[in-house]
Amino acid sequence: MADLETLTARTPLDPLDIVIGGPSDAGVTLTEIPFQTRLVLRGLPSDKKFVSTVKKALGVELPAKPGTVASSKTARVLWTGPNEWMVYSDDTGLAAALTKAVSNLHAAVTDVTEHYTLIRLSGRHARDVMIKGCAIDLHPREFGPGQCAQSHLGRITVLFDQTDETPSYDILVRASFAEYLWMYLEDAGLEFGVRIENVG
Amino acid sequence: MKGSANGMRALRGGASRYSIFALARNALSYHENWQKAWRSPEPKPEYDVIIVGGGGHGLATAYYLASVHGIRNIAVVEKGWIGGGNTGRNTTIIRSNYLWDESAGIYEHALKLWEGMSQELNFNVMFSQRGVLTLAHSEHELKEMRRRVEAIRLNGIDSEVLSPAQIKQLVPIIDTNPGIRYPVMGGFIQRRGGTARHDAVAWGYARAADDLGVDIIQNCEVTGILRDGGKVTGIETSRGTIKAKKVGVVTAGHSGVVASMAGLNLPIDSRPLQALVSEPIKPCIDTVVMSNAVHMYISQSDKGELVFGAGVDSYNSYSQRGSIPTVESLLAAGVELYPIISRLRVLRTWGGIVDTCPDASPIISKTPIDGLYFNCGWGTGGFKATPGSGHVFADLIARDEPNAIAAPYSLKRFETGYLIDEHGAAGVAH
Amino acid sequence: MSGQSFRIRDKGRIDRSKPVRFTFDGKSYEGFEGDTLASALIANGVHLIGRSFKYHRPRGILAAGSEEPNALIQLGGGNKSEPNLRATQIEIFDGLEAASQNRWPNLKFDVGAINSVFHRLFPAGFYYKTFMWPASLWLKYEHVIRHAAGLGKAPPDRDPDRYEKVHAHADVLIVGGGPAGLAAALAAGKTGARVILADETADWGGSLLSESDCEIDGKEPARWVEETVAELEAMPEVTLVKRCTITGYYDHNYLTGLERVSDHLGAAPEHTPRQRLWKIRAKRVVLATGALERPLVFTDNDRPGVMLSSAVRTYVNRYGVLPGRKAVIFTNNDDAYRTALALEEAHGRVAAIVDVRASVTGPLADAVRAKGITVYENHGIVSVQGTQKVTGIEVMQLDADGTGVTGTAKSLNCDLIAMSGGWNPTVHLFSQSKGKLTWDPEMAAFIPGTASQALASAGACNGTMGLADGLKEGVKLGAEAAREAGHKGRAPAAPKATEPAQGSLRPLWITPGKARLGRKGKHFVDFQNDVTAADVQLAAREGYRSVEHLKRYTTTGMGTDQGKTSNVNALAILSDVLAAEIPSVGTTTFRPPYTPATIGAYAGRNVGKLFEPIRKTRIDEWARANGAKFEHVGQWMRAWYFPKNGETFRQAIDREVKAVRDSVGILDASTLGKIDIQGPDAAEFLNRIYTNAWLKLGVGRCRYGLMLKEDGMVMDDGVTTCIGESHYHMTTTTGGAANVLSWLEEWHQTEWPDLKVFFSSVTEQWSVVAINGPKSRAVMQKLCNDVDFSADAFPFMAMKEGTVAGIPARLYRISFTGELSFEINVPARYGLALWEALMEAGKEFDITPYGTETMHVLRAEKGFIIVGQETDGTVNPLDLGMDWIVSKKKPDFVGKRSLERESMASPERKQLVGLLTEDPQTVLPEGGHVVEKLKPQPPMVMLGHVTSSYYSPNCGRSIAMALIKGGHARHGQTLHVPLEDKVVKVTVTEPRFFDLEGERIDG
Amino acid sequence: MLHITCPWCGPRDDNEFHYGGEAHILRPAAPEKLSDAEWAEYLFLKQNAKGPFLERWSHSAGCRQWFNVVRNTATDEIIEVYPMGELPKSPEGIKAYEGNWRRQSAAEKNAKAGVSGT
């Protein structure tokens, strides 16, 4: 029931009643991207059948290099472990399709769309905000678009990838930690000015 | 307990006895005539008992062997300087309000000895019974606290439940706002608990033991444990071989290392434990306050430094240094509970090595080797136990048989499964 | 009025166009921008700054940097007040308020000074020797001692300022912005390496800013500094951080730094942090931390007006102030002669130079003599006149071996004594990094030996004292470090530098006085803690022969300066007494932080609402809006109960508990841990992890499982469902979720990697609503028409998929209450919608929302355990009477072998029982302990404790569960629970109280 | 703060990792064949070496993978990182492995006799 979705779907940040807006020259902007399809894909890279099947289904080769991202029209695939990937997509049917594709292989597809939400941190000071709470070296020489990492941010664990040179970081956070992360980023951004672009 | 604990037996007669009068008298001679607190003799070829480890526990063991059991031919061998291990690195908290009967037994035994220590040793260890307050921050912790308090009370040990209002009165700098993440929902205090001057404990026992003829040998590292078949015959040291009928090992932080010299394996991991002090400030907290939920405890030294203790670091290490995030979260918790400390400054941080057992309880035990005894695995509880540990260990060594207090702490328990699980009993969130 | 009568007309780097007003002890003064509080006070002729810790002796300014032991200040008031700051480090700003410490009623007249009258009663460690009788009085003595001690005061309340943290990474971190550090930074920067250069002061250049008698590449040192800094600032990969003290050197080249971002501005602009904690991981580190000058230990060397020689030069050349109008230089080396020349150049007068060396020659000596300044060779200062400010001295000739004096004393008038006892390289960070120090007899100091991390020391901190050599070393090591970090590039040529040549020094650790040491006047070693040479000797005589014993017994080096000016002097005096070589006596270990670091900076933003995450479910907002009371469960906030207006806790719970059994109740169970398990070997894996059998669980079927630790103790429990071919959905306790997932991963990866199975957490993928009670089926049927809810079609412990209120859902027929019950799982975004739909549909049955407390009561009525309440890590399944779930057939599972130890089945173990109080209305306190033989008062033998206790409206009485020794054999026995105020009589029963036949499960 | 190189994610600060204690403690394949004392060797006894020590870590804040590390517990220097199921290759690691009393323990013999993990 489509209307039900629009009427009642709630994102983990909705209860914060966040006010959209802020200075136009803000050093960072914050955006929530709540209901994008997110799938945990498990399988063995050594399993040729698995790799080729998945490539067909996602339209892109699974990133084999730790901390890298591969993108196609349908999906963005982040390396999260030697036998694990995080798949982002706007195709709501992807979960079913992918599950079906790998059904008789040693592989697993787990829908975690609701388990997480995604917060996009962008702007000329985005990196300065990130390194306040993240110990990974995000210097352009070390970390750029197409790279992802799982690490601590403040007091929680997140998965993030850099999506452009601005820089912008898409930070995937467990739904129940989203409120904390949002408050954290807002506070950390204060000295540079924060603009909120979208929530929910 | 014989002589020692009840009898305030005056050691050191006359000139060398410490008192305000002695101070005045020596002032006249510009303090040029004070005797050595302890001799630093050359090791003899043989002793009845050798205690390996010149920390508080080892020196206390030697003292009680001499004073209670009348054994005088004793050496304490220390690889560095006495009191240089955990004795001189801990946060000096003393209490006996433990959950299990066995723990209450040993720690209360210790506390009773603390209460007469300065007088017995004629050395002011500054045992300050300012009270040790333990906080509860959730419904779950309140329940755990109630369980603990009831057990302590029925063991005949003093313990008192305090309301947040009473806590605020006792510790004005604490934030009792119910809205914070770890609200102060209650607590219990052991008024007989408190702190002591850690170095003084080692020095006091050393001086008293030395006075009874015990040889305290510093800068003497044990390199081997000599055996004849199943019996111990002495030790190899950096200063040569020393024979002995019995050897008691009390080397907190290095128990595993020494055990392996005797071909023994212990159920022990050695972990860093960090602590720090702030710059001295005028008195602002008169009690020791512990908060297990946020892994921090705080007290204020007589010099005015705020003394903070953290939780044990997660990995094995002998480097006497922990990980900085442990300190960061300790101090965040500090500011959360005591907002006024934010602008104060950390003066000194350090790490000790704690030997932890799977059940977070110590080992006071005979070993498969006749005449070889181990006292170790005190984890973070070592300092408060010092006199009790030394007292029962001396008894074990002298009689080659554990008394009722020491018996539960045998190595055998890891085989049978009769553990005394103090951290298990701390409970997990449901 | 400009009271700056000690300001030098044509010197200093202060900005005379920017006067700054500040107060000290309430009196208003003027200084200039660029002044420190110390230099500004000197400009105004103020030299009495504080009182010492023990004897309350008047103290002035000893140094010009962070090593200052005396001039400690309480800065500001209210919640921004800060104790124990060094006047030498405080940059003044308009409106700054400073106050002296540790004195009463005021600085000039301090009652505490009485201590110095009785000083002979207070030798080192006196407190160990007295205050022992009667024991009961110690707390009283202690009270007095505590209030006498303690320096400054904490602010009254919460800190209004912000603190930041930043993680930084560098190819090369250079610590110290003096000549060597700047040279190193330039060399490293030119290779394109990522360089961080940090300095603890507000200005680049370090010692160069204090010198007027040297040149670099033919330029004034200050010019060279400006040009170098400009060049560095132009390099994109070079980060320059001023006012940043590198405080700690930890494992694997991890260093911390504290940057004072806005302290010098008085108040931080909005949102700007006050301070920032840097956490730096560096591939290579170059230490260029300089050296600290040593005081000389002579009679009454602590009087205001006695200063370190280099500090005097700094005040003259860098700040343009004259610390005294007539100076005496007291030294054991040539460097102090530069101070004499600097003073002369600044129109100050130098009464004489007193030098302990037998004969002094060389360019500096010649220059001084050329100015007509008398040099007393082989002499020492034997007395100092003036208590609140030096007024004069007496000098005498030293005897042959320098342990006594001969001849007659000559008196000299002076108001300043500039002393130099040589230099200690600042090896603190090197030592923190676990590097080994070695003793350099040439300069009589410790210098870096073998390093144990990827670092190098350049310049004075390496014992390289000459300017030219320091610059050369900086350039070389900076380029080397960059190369080792992977950045090629040749080292540029080192700048040429000229400065007066210097001869060697004579270490004379104690300057003899007229009387025997300790008899007349005091030779201070540690100024802040009032430790004298006599104290050090006393400690050694009493057998405190290790350096650590010395420190701890005398407290030397334990002050807020951590012995920067005292440690080596103390060590040397100790080794004298022991007649041992200094290196053999050893040095003390240096511990972080290098200088005291703000607690708030370590806390950063992890305070208040950001102290720790609080996790909420998607139904939380409804509970809040509907007046729920909450409890913390691990990191989660859970609705505890839902009081209606005016209800007490007990009334609310009774209502909720009855409502569930009479009609229907609704619970937010979303916090339960959920793990998605897939793979052909999933069942086999579960079979090894759980105590019961899992190989034959059909699709759509649920089973309760118990997990043990390898030691046989209960770890976690929950229901796991087979939701498809080799696909399982595991639930765990709320608090155990994370642990269980790591537990599964650990066993899989480290023990059974051959098993084909994958685990993923899905805890928050699903919102879970449990509805319980006879009417729950009716409610379900109203909202879901694609599932047959009849008991046969949808039996207990089954799972079905359906659509509830239009939301795709998984329905589990499992029960934690013993009632007919459904746990509805929907995608989290619809959690709130589902809840509201159920509330609406349940209206006609008066559906009752309930929280964790009612859940606990209901499960207790049925005797279901809660891990963490009935268990505490020391309880095994047999103790719980759950033998039924421990498979006898399976060859092995985690914990099986431990369970077979004789002790695990011992009848003496604490076992789970029910307790019924004699008076059905009495509710036992949880945590109460059970005894068999009641005694009039403690101690008494305990059997165990009450784990759960409630009033059960459904049983019409109180119920309780307890773990007691031999409990299973005690059913029917009468025991006692002695409480503080009363004793409760109880009867032991089965731990089950309601619906013993289990007839309600189908509604 | 230790800098530990996750075999997959590269060098990270130690607080991203979960410590797993002594490595190469094989789980007995037939526990029932062991005496209580022998079982206790597997369950409780530690090597706790001062010096090169073989230990397990898991990158819990990252890829959640377990691996082995040779670390000198006296200096905290990390000598080698190697995968689960393999043995150390560094001389220090090999020495530490072979020198461990566990190699002779009944529990390990029992484990090796049957199917074993790492």
Name the CA dihedral angle for C918, C924, C929, C930, rounded to a multiple of 10 degrees: 20
**C-beta separation of C248 from C264 below 8 A:** no
Cα dihedral across residues B3, B8, B14, B16: positive or negative: positive
Q: Distance from B63 to chain C by nearest Cα, in Å?
A: 18
A73 touches chain D (CB under 8 A): no
Q: Is C488 exposed, middle or buried (0-12, 13-18, 19+ CB in 10 A)?
A: exposed
Q: How many domains does chain A have?
A: 2
Region A73-85: what's the mean pLDDT? 97
Write out residues in chain B with pLDDT < 50, as ranges: 1-10, 426-430
Give the residue among C337, C399, C400, C405 at the shortest CA–CA distance from C374: C337
Residues of C in contact with B173 (CB under 8 A): 154
Cα dihedral across residues B57, B63, B68, B71: positive or negative: positive
Q: Does A101 lie in the same domain as A57?
A: yes
A150 touches chain D (CB under 8 A): yes
C594 touches chain B (CB under 8 A): no
CB contact under 8 A, A174 and C194: no
> Would A3 be classed as within a structural domain?
no
**C-beta separation of C954 from C659 below 8 A:** no
- Summarised one tens digit per residue, pLDDT across range C573-608 is 999 999 999 988 877 789 999 999 999 999 999 999
Q: What is the pLDDT of residue A2?
A: 39
Instruction: Name the residue in chain A with its Cα closest to that of D1.
Output: A135
For A135, the closest of D13, D63, D65 (CB atoms) is D13
Q: What is the pLDDT of residue B290?
A: 95
Residues of C in contact with A96 (CB under 8 A): none
**Residue by residue, what is the 3-state secondary structure of chain B?**
CCHHHHCCCCCCCHHHCCCHHHHHHHHHCCCCCCCCCCCCCCCCCEEEEEEECCCHHHHHHHHHHHHCCCCCCEEEECCCCCCCCHHHCCCCEECCCCCCHHHHHHHHHHHHHHHCHHHHHCCCCCCECCCEEEEECCHHHHHHHHHHHHHHHHCCCCCEEECHHHHHHHCCCCCCCCCCCCCCCEEEEECCCEECCHHHHHHHHHHHHHHCCCEEECCCCEEEEEEECCEEEEEEECCEEEEEEEEEECCCCCHHHHHHHCCCCCCCEEEEEEEEEECCECCCCCCEEEECCCCEEEEECCCCCEEEEEEECCCCCCCCCCCHHHHHHHHHHHHHHCHHHHHCEEEEEEEEEEEECCCCCCEEEECCCECEEEEECECCCHHHHHHHHHHHHHHHHHHCCCCCCCHHHCCCHHHHCCCCCCCHHHCCCC
B128 touches chain C (CB under 8 A): yes
CB contact under 8 A, A114 and C828: yes
- Summarised one tens digit per residue, pLDDT across range A182-193 is 999 999 999 999
Per-residue tokens: C143 = 């009270």
Residues of chain B that touch chain D, judged by Cβ-Cβ distance less than 8 Å: 254, 256-257, 260, 265-270, 314-319, 321, 323-325, 358, 414-417
B340 touches chain C (CB under 8 A): yes
A115 touches chain C (CB under 8 A): yes
Phi, psi of C394 (to 5 degrees): -120, 140
Instruction: Name the residue in chain D with its Cα closest to that of C433.
Output: D75
The band of A7, judged by pLDDT with boundaries at 50, 70 and 90, is low
State the residue for tokens 């005028």. B282
The residue type found at C702 is C
Residue A197: alpha-carbon gap to chain centroid: 17
C695 touches chain A (CB under 8 A): no
Between CA C817 and CA C811 the distance in angstroms is 17
For A66, the closest of D8, D13, D64 (CB atoms) is D8
Residue A98: alpha-carbon gap to chain centroid: 19
B401 touches chain C (CB under 8 A): no
Between CA C96 and CA A139 the distance in angstroms is 39
User: Half-sphere exposure of residue C566, counting CA atoms within 13 Å on the CB side?
Assistant: 31
Q: Given 3-state DSSP classes, what are the helix, strand and coil percentages for chain C, each rounded to the nearest 5?
A: 25, 30, 45
Q: The domain spanning residue A28 has which CATH number?
A: 3.30.1360.120
CB contact under 8 A, C764 and A10: no
Q: Does A122 lie in the same domain as A168?
A: yes
B397 touches chain C (CB under 8 A): no
Residues of C in contact with A156 (CB under 8 A): 613
Q: What is the pLDDT of residue C121?
A: 84
Region C734-754: what's the mean pLDDT? 96
Q: What is the pLDDT of residue C115?
A: 79
> Would A5 be classed as within a structural domain?
no
Q: In chain C, pLDDT over 90 holds for what percent of residues?
A: 91
| Interface-testing mutation among B11, B12, B18, B31, with chain C (most C C-beta atoms within 10 A) | B31
CB contact under 8 A, A183 and C165: no
Q: What is the pLDDT of residue B14?
A: 52
The band of A4, judged by pLDDT with boundaries at 50, 70 and 90, is low
- Summarised one tens digit per residue, pLDDT across range C263-304 is 999 877 899 999 999 999 999 999 999 999 999 999 999 999
For C596, the closest of B119, B345, B430 (CB atoms) is B345
Between CA C815 and CA C995 the distance in angstroms is 14
Region C399-408: what's the mean pLDDT? 95
| Interface-testing mutation among C271, C675, C765, C840, with chain A (most A C-beta atoms within 10 A) | C765
Q: Distance from D81 to chain C by nearest Cα, in Å?
A: 15
Given A72, A89, A113, the domain boundary residue is A113
Q: Does A57 lie in the same domain as A67?
A: yes
User: Could you give the 3-state DSSP secondary structure of residue C765?
Assistant: coil
CB contact under 8 A, D2 and C749: no
CB contact under 8 A, B315 and D14: yes
> Would A1 be classed as within a structural domain?
no
In chain C, which among 245-284 make CB contacts under 8 A with chain B? 248, 250-251, 254, 256, 279
Between CA C459 and CA C449 the distance in angstroms is 14
CB contact under 8 A, D73 and B416: no
Which residues constitute the domain of residue A19?
Answer: 13-34+115-197
Residue B81: alpha-carbon gap to chain centroid: 17
CB contact under 8 A, D21 and B269: yes
Region C899-921: what's the mean pLDDT? 95
Residues of A in contact with D10 (CB under 8 A): 66-67
Read out DSSP for C726-738? TEEEEEE-TTTHH
Q: Does A71 lie in the same domain as A29?
A: no
Q: The domain spanning residue A70 has which CATH number?
A: 3.30.70.1520
Q: Distance from A2 to chain C by nearest Cα, in Å?
A: 10
Residues of C in contact with B321 (CB under 8 A): 250-251
Between CA C602 and CA B359 the distance in angstroms is 32
> Would A4 be classed as within a structural domain?
no
CB contact under 8 A, B332 and C604: yes
Give the residue among B365, B362, B373, B354 at the shortest CA–CA distance from B262: B373
Residues of B in contact with D74 (CB under 8 A): 318-319
Per-residue tokens: C493 = 């040529």
Q: Does A41 lie in the same domain as A139?
A: no
Given A75, A93, A113, the domain boundary residue is A113
Say if strands B215-217 and B74-77 run parallel, antiparallel, or are unpaired. parallel
Q: Does A44 lie in the same domain as A28?
A: no
Between CA C811 and CA C769 the distance in angstroms is 10
Between CA A114 and CA C762 the distance in angstroms is 9
Size of the B and C interface in Cβ pairs below 8 Å: 333
Q: Does A51 lie in the same domain as A96?
A: yes
A1 touches chain D (CB under 8 A): no
State the residue for tokens 């730094």. C257
Q: Distance from D3 to chain A by nearest Cα, in Å?
A: 11
Q: Count of residues for chain A?
A: 200
Q: Is C318 exposed, middle or buried (0-12, 13-18, 19+ CB in 10 A)?
A: buried
Q: What is the pLDDT of residue D117?
A: 40
Q: Does A101 lie in the same domain as A62?
A: yes
Region C642-652: what's the mean pLDDT? 96
Q: Which residues contact B194 (CB under 8 A, 6 or more apart)?
A: B93, B94, B95, B127, B128, B129, B130, B131, B132, B288
Between CA B375 and CA B393 the distance in angstroms is 7
Q: What is the pLDDT of residue C841?
A: 97
Q: Does A120 lie in the same domain as A27?
A: yes
Does residue D50 surpass a pLDDT of 50? Answer: yes
CB contact under 8 A, A81 and D10: no
> Would A22 be classed as within a structural domain?
yes
Q: In chain D, pLDDT over 70 holds for what percent of residues?
A: 97
CB contact under 8 A, A157 and D61: yes
CB contact under 8 A, D46 and B268: yes
Between CA B62 and CA B215 the distance in angstroms is 9
Does residue A133 surpass a pLDDT of 80? Answer: yes
Q: Does A158 lie in the same domain as A106?
A: no
- Considering the entire predicted model, what is its pTM? 0.96
CB contact under 8 A, A82 and D8: yes
Q: Distance from D72 to chain B by nearest Cα, in Å?
A: 8
> Would A81 be classed as within a structural domain?
yes
Q: Does A22 lie in the same domain as A120?
A: yes
Other beta carbons less than 10 A from residue C632's beta carbon: 22
Given A113, A144, A170, the domain boundary residue is A113
**C-beta separation of C311 from C293 below 8 A:** yes
> Would A2 be classed as within a structural domain?
no
The residue type found at C830 is Y
**CB neighbour burial string for C214-231, b if at least 16 within 10 angstroms, e if fewer:** bbbeeeebbebbeebbee
- Give the relative orientation of helices B198-211 and B56-67 as an angle to the nearest 10 degrees: 30
Does residue C967 surpass a pLDDT of 90? Answer: yes
The residue type found at C869 is Q
B155 touches chain C (CB under 8 A): yes
Phi, psi of C600 (to 5 degrees): -60, -30
D65 touches chain C (CB under 8 A): yes
Q: What is the pLDDT of residue C585?
A: 87
> Would A106 be classed as within a structural domain?
yes
Q: Does A150 lie in the same domain as A99?
A: no
Q: Which residues contact B399 (CB under 8 A, 6 or more apart)?
A: none
For C897, the closest of D20, D31, D117 (CB atoms) is D31
Between CA C539 and CA C523 the distance in angstroms is 15
